[in-house]
Structure 1
Amino acid sequence: MPPITQRRWFVPGDLNGFFGLVVDNLSILGFISAALIGIFGFPADVVFTRMFPGTAFGVLIGNLIYTWMAHRLARESGRSDVTAMPLGLDAPTSIGMALLVLGPAFVAFKQQGMDEAAAANATWQLGMASLVVMGLLKLVLSFFGDAITRAVPRAALLGSIGGAALALLGFLPLIETLRSPVVGLVTFGLLMYVLVAKGKLPIRMPGVLFAFIVGTVLYYGLGIAGLGTPGFKLPDAAPLRFTLPLPTLQFLDGLPYTVPYLPLLLPFGLLMVVGGINVSESARAAGDNYRTRDVLLAEAVATLVAGFCGGVAQTTPYIGQPAYKHMGARMGYTLLTGLFIGLGGIFGYVSGLVQWLPIAVLAPIIVYVGMDITVQAFHDSPRRHALAVALAFLPSVAYLLVIKLGNPAWIAPDRFAALYEGVDGHGLPDLATIVTLGNGFIITAMIWSTALVAMIDHRFRRAAVVLLIGAVLTLFGFIHSVDPRGSIYWPWMLDGLRRAIAWQFAGAYVALAVLLGLLSLQRQSPPEHLESTDRAH
């Protein structure tokens, strides 16, 4: 075994890895704050002094564990080229938490009569509790990750999040990008140049950092010159405030608030487990043999620590470990990133940084993330399952409409609450159908796509079983909830048109399951060219 001096904690490549990983985390923190404060009118003080310190502390803990794991692997293998697993805030679910859980919850709390301070505090407690729920789920599932991936086809797992990525991470941030057209389009174009076209830069620095700098300079330069978007103003100076993210039991008060959002939170946690399995395999392919269970457990612990300490966005191991390895990064970049983000949350300089990053500069990277996840859903699924991936996108479109339809500026709250009143003789009301389809959209997408994959593979009885599971989930509101807020319920507590819609949707799943079960009794010819199709793919 080589002497310990050959396994250096820091190498020059760690600086490149540090900038790349820090920019990723800052961009996500920036979008969370921009979405909550700019879109939903959330109090900035609560975001920066309650949500951010605990969220950043989870990044610190996770990166410390991954740094130690890399050092242990280097010691055991006798190698000096081991690269640590990168850990940061998960882009899809962090942004999903802001746009789909925290923001709408804050609006709903105010509509229920809470004042702004009480609504903000309840939303913070909901965010903490959501992280604890997802962390506990990941902790348990880390021991069964491989079994989960065997039970749910890749088209369903990737298609469900791919639909959310395209509709929610792609479209909604694109609107924010183009609200400042010059800045947004230039930043987005630069990101496409460095990330997609792999274009060369005139100076040596991470491409995402270069795009952020150009976009930010352009935003403030045009704004100060009076050529920017109307209403431009410089942000207020953010004072440095020391906020120690101590553990708190306030998440217990938020647990009841999580019930309507379980159809979102549970898939969010499940996807991190599946993603952790994938990135562990990716790291092994690059030469660093980390145990999958260790990677998943460390990430679950980081999420739980963040939740207990006031955080609202879950951590995840990033899929780019081989890319950081190619940059020359080893163990130091995760240590540096953890300390920079974690201490930044405690001392407040991270809040200052994200306040000065315009949303028109931050949103384009989220659009790219959404596009990349969408492409991955098709690319990493068997070609014969492509239609199942596309099918999984449709419920996300319904939820995109729900977000806008539930906006009081678009539809009055009393009109939205009256969605399930009256019929016109031509079927269910349009708005009621859209909301019912959109509620629980990720699980709906997984059910639909899993059933279609089973049919494509001529496993019709399996498809029938999956549809029956969908019927049960429908009755209790985990999918197709007839509550406009998307909450779950006991089916016998419903009345009127809501009961009729719930039973019709559940009955539709049962009817199709019975029909497929009967059709499966026929003599079926095996599906043609399955193996050759996969090889072509």
Structure 2
Amino acid sequence: MATRASGAAPQRWFVSGDFNGFFGLVVDNLTILSFIAAALIGIFGFPADVVFQRMFPGTALGVLIGNLIYTAMARRLAARSGREDVTAMPLGLDAPTSIGMALLVLGPSFLAGKAAGLDAQAAAIATWQLGMASLVVMGVWKFLLAFTGDWVTRVLPRAALLGSIAGIALVLMGLFPLIEALRAPVAGFVTLGLLLYVLVAKGRLPLRLPGVPLVFLFGTALYYGLGLAGLGAPGFQLPAAVHWQPALPWPNLGFIDGLPATLPYLPLLLPFGLLMVVGGINVSESARAAGDDYSTRDILLTEALSTLVAGFCGGVAQTTPYIGQPAYKHMGARHGYTLLTGLFIGLGGMLGVVSSLVQWLPLAVLAPIIVYVAIDITTQAFEATPRQHAAAMVLGFLPSVAYMLSIKLGNPAWISPEKFNELATTLDGHGLPELAVIKTLGNGFIITAMLWTAAVAAMIDARLRRAALILLVAAGFTLFGVIHSVDARGGLHLPWQLSGLAQTINLQFSAAYAVLAALLALLSLQRQEAARP
């Protein structure tokens, strides 16, 4: 561990590894912004000017504020500990909830506005105000929950905290970007292979330049070169000409107009905020396992503040600390990379640079860096968790698989909404409908993974009463939709207001936890009796 001697020179602002980390973190954020733009403009027909001129600047400002604070926290930790190898917590836009906001809130709201008689521009402005208000609601909610973070880290085992994010990493951050990369196989796979050579195998490239940026430059050149030569993936075309149009994210009161429209979405927005707090707790533990002991409360308060700032200034996607802090540490990044990322995304979002890059950088080349981060996170989860808890952690991966399937199966391009509803509600005499089970298991998947892992870890440690208590908590959460929601959008619900198949699923899942809890409680008595002389 590198430390500074007494009276040594002040901390350096940048080291060579910061440029690798900067490029990786910028790519993460650009990839999510690319998805938001593709979903809103490509799927729902949103006016591009509202996305790029109104939504993106405020969203980018939240990234700037959060990364500046995390940079300051890293410098303070380095000064306090006397270490030179402190790595800042990375902050960016959250992928799962950004996908959820685009597909479940903003897109449907825009279509509803048009169906109500508004023209496209008016419907888009009303939707933008809903997005702002949603961020303010989630920011306030996260601020209130931030003070529970340290308590959660004391109560839950490390396997539950790291295992839940490892599942997200492997299934969502690993598979989805890998599929995107392989849609243009030559450029995507070559980029991934070179990244693994540079970051995992610690190989050296011929030029004395930071490896990650060099790989991305090569991958981008390969993508466009093959495409222009007619050798690229089918459907290649150059993006339309982009004109930089600066747009400053001034604070405005548009979110107030959008607040009434958030009421129907609260069952969705509150779990979104809760999931980010749980994720923030997990990444704080991940950083602690890597050697950087940040205050969980300060990490959570920062993400709440940056989300609020984004919402007040026109943003529509919430910020969160990323789960790849150990990966950036392995890249050699310290605290300069978060400063550079904040300035690039924040100022670039205001000046129109980010909007231009989102339209020009190929996703097939951007996606492999996320695959690498997913690999590193999963590896670290196993290395930092007691060996006997490995099986519990693997079990916690499975709800993420269900969430991934529910995303894909809910895509109208895969299955029409009518066909999906038919398959999810038709009984075949062999139990609950398979699609309904997948959807129910995927809803609240982060919290489900934590509870499953914690319960099995308690069983492994012969603490059966603790396992039973965790299962009873899961039963209560299930009744109200915190996990295993039967709401069509994955939101909270009241069990006595359910009916039909939704009520059956809700009661069956809740009863499953309660019955297992009761059996474990009885088994704990048996063990105690057997231990008596």
TM-score, normalised to structure 1, is 0.84
Distance in 1 between residues matched to 2:80 and 2:504, nearest whole Å: 62
Which residue identity lines up with residue 91 of structure 2 in the other structure? G
The whole-number CA distance in structure 2 between the counterparts of 1:65 and 1:110 is 34
Kept in 2, the 8 Å contact 1:264–1:442? The answer is: no
Candidates 466, 487, 509, aligned match of 1:483: 487
CA distance in 1, matches of 2:95, 2:327: 22
Counterpart CA distance in 2 for 1:324 and 1:370 is 13
| 2:397 is the counterpart of 1:393 | yes
Q: Which residue of 2 aligns with 1:275?
A: 283
User: Distance between the aligned counterparts of 1:31 and 1:348, measured in 2?
Assistant: 16
Q: Which amino acid aligns with 2:193?
A: G
In the other structure, the counterpart of 2:344 is 340
Instruction: For 1:293-372, list aligned pairs within 5 A.
Output: 293-294=297-298, 296-311=300-315, 312-316=317-321, 319=325, 323=329, 334-372=338-376
The partner residue of 1:213 within 211, 217, 221 is 217
Partner Cα distance (1:165, 1:254) in 2: 33
1:368 Cα offset (Å):
1.7
Q: CA deviation at 1:188?
A: 0.6
2:49 counterpart letter in structure 1: D
For residue 181 of structure 2, what is the amino acid of its counterpart?
T
Task: Give matches, 1:453-532, under 5 Å.
Answer: 453-524=457-528
The residue correspondences of 1:433-448 to structure 2 (distance < 5 A) are: 433-448=437-452
After TM superposition, the structure 1 = structure 2 runs for residues 81-480 of structure 1, keeping only pairs within 5 Å, are 85=88, 87-89=90-92, 94-106=94-106, 108-109=108-109, 114=114, 124-125=128-129, 127-129=131-133, 131-249=135-253, 250=255, 252-253=259-260, 255-256=262-263, 257-276=265-284, 278-279=286-287, 293-294=297-298, 296-311=300-315, 312-316=317-321, 319=325, 323=329, 334-419=338-423, 421-480=425-484
Structure 1: which 5+ runs fail to align? Answer: 528-537
What's the C-alpha RMSD, in Å, of the aligned pairs?
A: 3.4
Cα 1:151–1:69, aligned 2, differ >3 Å: closer, same or farther? Answer: closer
Instruction: Find the residue that maps to 2:325 and give its secondary structure.
Output: coil
How far the C-alpha of 1:186 sits from its partner, in A, is 0.5
Cα gap change, 1:420/1:295 in structure 2, threshold over 3 Å: closer, same or farther?
A: closer
Residues 298 and 484 of structure 1: is their aligned pair in 2 closer, same or farther, counting only changes over 3 Å?
A: closer
CA shift, 1:510, in A, is 1.1
Q: Deviations over 1:375-414 (max 9, x none)?
A: 2232221111111111111111112221122112222212
Gaps of 5+ in 2: none
Query: How far apart are the structure 2 equivalents of 1:81 and 1:428?
Result: 56
- Structure 1 Cα separation of the partners of residues 379 and 85 of structure 2: 30
Deviations along 1:132-156, whole A, 9 cap, x unmatched? 4554454345444332111122212
Q: Aligned residue for 1:41?
A: 43
Whole-angstrom CA distance in 2 between matches of 1:334 and 1:402: 33
Distance in 1 (alpha carbons) for counterparts of 2:485 and 2:295: 39
Question: 1:144/1:208 Cα in 2 relative to 1: closer, same or farther (>3 Å)?
Answer: same
From 24, 49, 53, give the equivalent of 2:57.
53
Structure-2 separation of matches of 1:417 and 1:117 = 32
What displacement does 1:524 show? 4.4
Return the offset for 1:218: 0.5
Structure 2 CA distance for aligned equivalents of residues 209 and 441 of structure 1: 34
8 Å contact 1:422–1:497 — kept in the other structure?
A: no
8 Å contact kept, 1:97–1:313: yes
> In the TM superposition, what is the alpha-carbon distance from 1:436 to its structure 2 partner?
1.7
Could you tell me how far 1:27 is from its partner in structure 2? 0.9
Q: Closer, same or farther in 2 for the Cα pair 1:155/1:435, shift >3 Å?
A: same
Q: Aligned to 1:89, what secondary structure does the other structure show?
A: strand
- Mapped to 1, the partners of 2:273 and 2:372 lie a distance apart of 23
